[in-house]
Structure 1
Amino acid sequence: MLDFSNAHLGRLFLPKLIDLARKATDQLGRPLVLMEVCGTHTVAISRSGLRSLLADHMELRSGPGCPVCVSDQSDIDRIIALARLPGVIMATFGDMVRVPGTGSSLEKERALGARVEVCYSPREALSLACNSPDKEIIFLGVGFETTMPAIALTIAEAERQGLNNFTVLSIHKRVPPAMKVLLDDPELRIDGLILPGHVCTITGRKVFDFISSKYRIPAVIAGFEPADIMQAIYLLLEQIARGEARTTIGYTRLVHENGNEKARMIIDEFFEPVDAPWRGFGPIPGSGMALRAIRRQFDAARKFPVEIPPSSPPEGCACGQVLRGKCKPGDCPLFGEACTPSAPVGPCMVSSEGACAAYYRYE
């Protein structure tokens, strides 16, 4: 196996990667299509120029790897409705503030007087609850498997302290169920998958074995430096050229076969899988994570039931198609004109991990 752990070696092996890409293309008889299933990979690929550098030999297409972007419009509208409740402070990661709902956003609600606080960790939201006993703190639980353990431990601490003004609105998503829906789409042609290293740090490799065993598509778990991504592409090309399909670990310094068992135990103690809607996908069975009934006192959805009007995505926005790998950001008629980072129409242009934002900034 070639070693791409050093950036200089990555540049040195680039000609070998391109040569292998030619061989794999000859093997298939058509251009290659690889998909990165992680927003951090999308940003790294765009920022480093890898997409354009390899464009003559393969297409690197973005998938549903941004947790803010895949949050359904109905979830955004529920968040906005909760922020309007009297006595509530909405605590959230920064990207969620500007995501447009059907008729508003947290940014607009804050301008109208709602309390919206940006937190860099769930512990900050917990401190907010301790320091504001007369307010209800709702923390937005957004993210994939990576963020769930920290939020679970924060709930455990709230439980230990006996806080009754701290709740979590869990709109967490699980990656494997979405991958199954993605790969079941007969219109989508993917020759290889670059899998998210941070998610796999928690889940391990085996949970993604179905990609190669059922769908006969090679997949490689990758780190986030350009050299890591080049290594993953190289390992995919090796499999394609040989006609193989395996799910392998390229990010060996952090990812193991079974992942982080303690983190998975913490997730299972606090959360349970539920059906959940994804932007562009619709409802996906078992793809969401809700708080278990035993900790219902920390569940914002149970504590603050709100009615929301019918939700609808922004008119003309192609975020759903981008997340499904059906089109590239530049194919959206709004991209770069009506929709820019300073005036985003859809979440893919808002989030720091959004494909549209990455393409706009770097490509």
Structure 2
Amino acid sequence: MNKLLIIVIDGCSPEYISKETTPNLYRIAKDGFCKGVKAAIPSVTNVNHATILSGRFPSEHGVVGNYYYNKDTGEQGFIESPDFIKADTILNIMHQKGASTALLTVKGKVLEVFGKGVDFRISMQDPNDIFARYLEMPPPPPVGSLEANGWILEACYKLLKKNNPDVVYCTTNDYMMHNYAPDTEEAIQQMKEIDSWIGKIYDLDHTREIYITADHGMSKKTHLINLQNIMDSKGYQVVCHPPIKDRYIENHIYQEGGVLFLYFKKEQDEKTEEILSFLEEAPYVDMVCSKEEAAKKFNLPIDLIGDYVVLAAEDYAFGEIEGEELVTENVRTHGSLYERAIPLIAVNAKEVPEKYRYSRDIVKIILED
């Protein structure tokens, strides 16, 4: 088996990549390939790390968000433990076969959820002091900072140089993408730094099997909608559950995202047709699907996505704002169909580019080999 490295640039829409800003990514693509692929829906972090790491869609791995809701008990909370993922990750599979494995992440929750079967583990949010000293790393910057991604990629470079594990998964944080559009100076400088470290990592071993992708894209939103307040004001007995919700409020100040799971409080709500008609006509709704339709269309587990799934229109996101609507110029987020397009740059890949349509195909193909 070739040495394997998967780098996930959190929130990296294709627009952040250019010959001028990311020349090393272009260099790697020239040696391999670059193409667009699709993320899983909802286009949020936990869902897509689970998808990439397992090589399976949510219908099989069972992770449908960053946040869960139990309709029967009313319990809700953050997804921050391995109990939520029902499929094995490539890290654990290869670990059981005797391979050395590593997981490096800015966000601590990624290690908490996906850290089973990992030999070398580092979370920038809560670093192991001994391991950080072993890698000769400086003290970590804040998670919500422009310095975070360079820190974790430097750690990845140093780990590969010192120990060269067989299977490495390294992921950044999307703080920059949430706050800066691709054409801003901050974004350009951040992508140059990311690109520089990836170039150094590639040059350690040109025979390594490398995949560089994103968990989801990122889009500007001009309208935030509090659908829960709207439902309540109309007397509709519906719980609007935001699967994007997480602890990183520097990324999601309003917990805003492009998807909601709707749980009807009554099994047979006489207002169901009225509610659905209202949503279908709302300018902020791109699509509303029954759980059966959504499960089939997006490969989702039918028992974990509410009664209906609502996806936001292109310029809209659902958020926990005061009132019903907020017009804004300062929000960039994800979760909807409009953040599904992501890049895939690969070198020494197992298959030809045409075989890769979704981010899950990276590991799916490796495990089938």
Shorter chain as denominator, the TM-score bin is 0.3 to 0.5
Comparing both structures, which one devotes a greater share of its residues to strand?
Answer: 2
Q: TM-score, normalised by structure 2?
A: 0.32
Which structure has more relative contact order (CA 8 Å, sep 6+)? It is 2
TM-score (norm 1): 0.33
